[in-house]
Amino acid sequence: MLRNSQPQTVAGEADVVSTPAGTRPASAASPRQPLSLILGRYSAVFLWIGFLILFGILKPDIFLTVSTFRLTFGEGVVTAVLALAFLVPLAAGTYDLSVGALMGLSLCLINWFSLNTDLPIAVVCLIAVAVCCASGVLSGVLVVRFRVNSLIATLGVSQVLSAVTLKISDNRQVIGKFDGTFEKMGSSNVLGVPVVVALLLVLAVVVWAVLEHTPVGRHLFAVGGNPEAARLAGLPTSKLVYGSFVASAGIAALAGIVYSMRVGAYSAEAGPGLLFPALAAVFFGASQFSGRPNVWGTLVAYFALAFGIKGLQLAFGPGTFWIQPLFQGAALLIAVALASRQITQTRKSRRAQAAQATAA
Amino acid sequence: MLTISSLSKSFAGQLALDRVDLEVQQGEVHALVGQNGSGKSTLIKVLAGYHQPDDGASATMHDAPLELGSAVAAHAAGIRFVHQDLGLVLELSGIENLMLGRSYPVGLGGRIRWSAAREQAQALVERAGLTIDVRRPVGELGLADRTGLAIARALPDASLGSALVVLDEPTAALPNTDVERLFETVRHLREAGNSILIVSHHLEEIFEISDRITVLRDGKKVATTDAASADADSLVRMMVGHDLVVSGGRTAGQRDEADVVLDLADVAGGTVHGVTAQVRKGEVLGVAGLTGSGREELAAIVTGRLPRTGVVRVAGTEIVAGSPSAGLKAGLALVPGERARYGIFSNFNVRENLTLGSLGRHTFKGRLARRSEAREVQEYISSMGVVTRGPEAPITSLSGGNQQKVLVARALRLDPAVLVLDDPTAGIDVKARDQVHTIVEAAVDGGMSVLLASTDSGELARLSDRVLVLRQGRVVRELVRGADLSAAAIDQAQVAAPLLELPSELRPAAP
């Protein structure tokens, strides 16, 4: 899956390029896909269904309830938004590790401003988004102008943002004074769906439409696939990278807004702690469906795991708090390993097919 | 030395090799020829252990059974490969590249003795008849020297006895003098009792170097013949299955002398030291030159991949240096050399590769309409004869020649005033080459201008109205259609062009 987004960093790409006649697994159009490949492409969906059945049998009275569904989706919204923030630059072959810190900053700013000023909450949110976008521009400058590797640049930016956040919060919890409607939005439902989940869906549709159905999205994937060829084809590669960082920062700021709707107060753990689950969801998701970083793969991967974790917690009680990182780490590793194995599996199954063809 | 019998290999149910037999004798140069898609590369890759053969194949090497599809077995049997992409690590020095797969001489505590390693590397390079500085990063070497280095690296240690060296398209990007140097190496290896299996599209070269020739077509072996008893016509017939229509060159159309579309004024950068030239509407300007002459960088400099000085004007508009998009806006499109590196998006399918750069005509209210996009791509696939499963097939499933057609289509659909072609048919088969030429000719007849930098003198002679011969980064000859333009004249001019009187600032300072 990484192969698709970052060919220049992964050994073996040259082999793939020079491979003749369809040994490549990403041929979604091929009617001859082996079953194992299809299973791999939809493994997150099957995993999700599997968890629903498993815990539905183990704990039918509490697991398969509307409130559990609302809770699990609601709890996962913030991380899922953060995952979408990470997804956009990844499509362009760029990592933005500062999304966690950006969310923390956004959350801190919202609480600080609502505590210390009388600005309406909408203005406060706009300030948070604007500040985060400015940080996205900074990451863009580092990566595009100074040619710093994006992993290193955003790791550095992430630490600087943490420092800013610590300074503003004075290393304490900041509890903003929100008017009722803001927090009410975080806990109410529309048409039976939590408002925050609806917001996530709207955001996901927007990101999906841009990535998959606009020239900009196509151009982002082109830069992710072969930056030099993209430049030669006349694409504004620098602008695209800048844009992806700003979009990612803006979405990370939204994650902070959603968090403040749901939870309210700023504390130092919010934000950076969610970075890994978000990354895991994006990478796991990139092995799903189209085989490149994509919105629905990311969301399905994330919520499949979230439901598994929720089920385990319900089945085995509160002592299972350690299960979450174990689950996310293991799922990430297995997904990536499966994605790498797809190549060899395709070869094997094609050999088998060919053997049948010759025998017939 | 090597025998292969009944080798088949299929991809997705499609036979790439169909019960092929091959026999390479001790001390011979054996050529493997065929169009792209004929199965040459697949055969080499099975031999190298990159692909597994289908059941039923067997092979022997030095009369001992050889396991096909195993890289380890091939290596142990003394089979060595130099692939088209050479497999060098450009960031590492010549020494480090040569020592990959060899053990370094080490001193106390496992420290590498670099001076000894350098001597060892130098000896390898000399065995291949090369004079290059092995301390330089390979990326700084020209293509010819890189090929030589890759061969030097492939040479097995003399102690292993006679070996089989497989050269896959070694001359694809080499100008003639370098080819000659390469062949000296090949002959040298043969005289030492080794065998060489060479894959090439260049028939003249095949006749020059090889003892026997095996022809593949559509995955089947057509024949193995002595090079001495074969001629080019019969070989081409065996390769394509019918007589190839060879165009005798474009008929020069009416050209308006005043209508200059591309104007280069003292353009310099990299190995190009100052080229001034004009291309008129509907004209094809060829650029020839040996490796290092500036020919290989001119297209990249003009179109903005590499930085430059001097002035480039397209239809009167001056183009900012180093900006491909500025050139494109003014109507300067490029089909880049080194396809895989500068042209192809391996994560995209045929459709996405072909339409990149101009999606506007399929964008309605900001939304990309895939169906109308696929329709246009299908039209190009049909009109250009691209062999593919369809617009949605991964680009990497196409052969090199067909990938190249997609890149030509990508440039042509921008409807450029000037098309810059950088070695457009390097490493692609005769039929695809002919098709690419026909496509370019049609576009030129429609009024497009072309700047064609090429290592292929036949191609230059066929397409160009004029050919500039570069040497030391400057134009040293101009050949004009009708007067003195032919493949032989281009070859001769590249080699025989007089060395330039160096301008004073480049001369060594007087003591």
How do the pLDDT tens digits run along chain A, 360 residues long? 333 433 333 333 333 333 333 333 333 444 455 676 777 788 889 999 999 999 999 988 888 899 999 999 999 999 999 999 999 999 999 999 999 999 999 999 999 999 999 999 999 999 999 999 999 999 999 999 999 999 999 999 999 999 999 999 988 888 888 877 888 888 888 888 899 999 999 999 999 999 999 999 999 999 999 999 999 999 999 999 999 999 999 999 999 999 999 888 888 888 888 999 999 999 999 888 887 899 999 999 999 999 999 998 888 887 778 888 888 888 878 877 776 665 444 445 444 544 444 443
- Please tell me whether residues B179 and B279 are part of one structural domain: no
Per-residue pLDDT, B495: 64
Across the interface, which of B84, B328, B366 has its CB nearest the CB of A234?
A: B328
- Is residue B248 a part of any domain in this protein? no
Instruction: Determine the residue among A6, A17, A214, A216 to mutate to test chain B binding: the one whose Cβ has the most chain B Cβ atoms within 10 Å.
Output: A17
Establish, for the pair of chains A and B, how many residue pairs have beta carbons separated by less than 8 Å. Answer: 161
CA atoms within 13 A on the CB side of A193: 11
- Please tell me whether residues B268 and B356 are part of one structural domain: yes
Per-residue pLDDT, A267: 86
- Please tell me whether residues B227 and B293 are part of one structural domain: no
- Please tell me whether residues B20 and B124 are part of one structural domain: yes
CATH number listed for the domain at residues A2-13+30-352: 1.10.3470
Strands B317-318 and A189-190: unpaired
- Please tell me whether residues B276 and B134 are part of one structural domain: no
Three-state helix/strand/coil letters over A175-218 = CCCCCHHHHHHHHCEECCEEHHHHHHHHHHHHHHHHHHHCHHHH
Q: What is the pLDDT of residues B136-180, one digit of tens each?
A: 898 888 777 888 788 888 877 766 677 888 988 777 666 666 778
- Please tell me whether residues B268 and B233 are part of one structural domain: no
The letter for the amino acid at B76 is A
Where would I find the beta strands (DSSP E) of chain A? 189-190, 193-194
Q: What is the pLDDT of residues B186-244, one digit of tens each?
A: 888 888 788 999 987 677 788 888 999 999 887 889 889 998 888 877 887 787 665 44
Helices and strands of chain A, counted as H and E runs: 17, 2
- Is residue B189 a part of any domain in this protein? yes
Helix (H) or strand (E) holding A333: helix A323-359
Q: Do A226 and B344 touch (CB under 8 A)?
A: yes
Q: What is the pLDDT of residues A2-18, one digit of tens each?
A: 334 333 333 333 333 33
Least confident of B47-61, B110-124, B436-450, B477-491: B477-491
Asked if A350 has any chain B CB less than 8 Å from its own CB, the reply is yes
Q: Do A23 and B84 touch (CB under 8 A)?
A: no
Asked if A191 has any chain B CB less than 8 Å from its own CB, the reply is no
Across the interface, which of A213, A219, A358 has its CB nearest the CB of B54?
A: A358
Please identify, among B178, B212, B240, the residue that sits at the C-terminal boundary of a domain: B240
Per-residue pLDDT, A358: 42
- Is residue B465 a part of any domain in this protein? yes
- Please tell me whether residues B230 and B313 are part of one structural domain: no
Share of chain B above pLDDT 70, in %: 89
**CATH code (residue B384):** 3.40.50.300
Residue B45 has pLDDT above 60, yes or no: yes
CA atoms of B161 and B193, how far apart (whole Å): 9
Q: Which residue segment(s) compose the domain that B191 sits in?
A: 2-240
Q: Nearest residue of B to residue A3 by CA position? A: B347
Question: Between the CA atoms of A332, A334, A340 and A343, what dihedral angle is there, to the nearest 10 degrees?
Answer: -130
Residues of A in contact with B305 (CB under 8 A): 228, 231-232
Tokens 């054996």 found at: B30
Across the interface, which of A13, A21, A215 has its CB nearest the CB of B368?
A: A215
- Is residue B511 a part of any domain in this protein? no
- Please tell me whether residues B82 and B212 are part of one structural domain: yes
ipTM value, please give it.
Answer: 0.82
Please identify, among B240, B270, B296, the residue that sits at the C-terminal boundary of a domain: B240
Minimal C-alpha gap between A38 and chain B (Å): 16
Asked if A21 has any chain B CB less than 8 Å from its own CB, the reply is yes
- Is residue B50 a part of any domain in this protein? yes
Asked if A28 has any chain B CB less than 8 Å from its own CB, the reply is yes
Minimal C-alpha gap between A354 and chain B (Å): 5
- Please tell me whether residues B63 and B156 are part of one structural domain: yes
- Please tell me whether residues B206 and B344 are part of one structural domain: no
Q: Do A228 and B342 touch (CB under 8 A)?
A: yes
Instruction: Determine the residue among B6, B7, B11 to mutate to test chain A binding: the one whose Cβ has the most chain A Cβ atoms within 10 Å.
Output: B11
CA atoms of A89 and A209, how far apart (whole Å): 15
The number of domains in chain B is 2
Q: Nearest residue of B to residue A236 by CA position? A: B325
Residues with Cβ within 8 Å of residue A136, at least 6 apart in sequence: A96, A102, A242, A245, A246, A247, A248, A249, A250
- Please tell me whether residues B205 and B294 are part of one structural domain: no
Query: Structural domain boundaries of chain A?
Result: 2-13+30-352
- Please tell me whether residues B222 and B347 are part of one structural domain: no
Q: What is the pLDDT of residues B433-475, one digit of tens each?
A: 899 999 999 999 999 999 999 988 889 999 999 999 998 788 9
Give the confidence band of B254 by pLDDT, cuts at 50, 70, 90: low
Asked if A179 has any chain B CB less than 8 Å from its own CB, the reply is no
Give the confidence band of B355 by pLDDT, cuts at 50, 70, 90: very high
The chain-wide mean pLDDT, for chain B, equals: 85
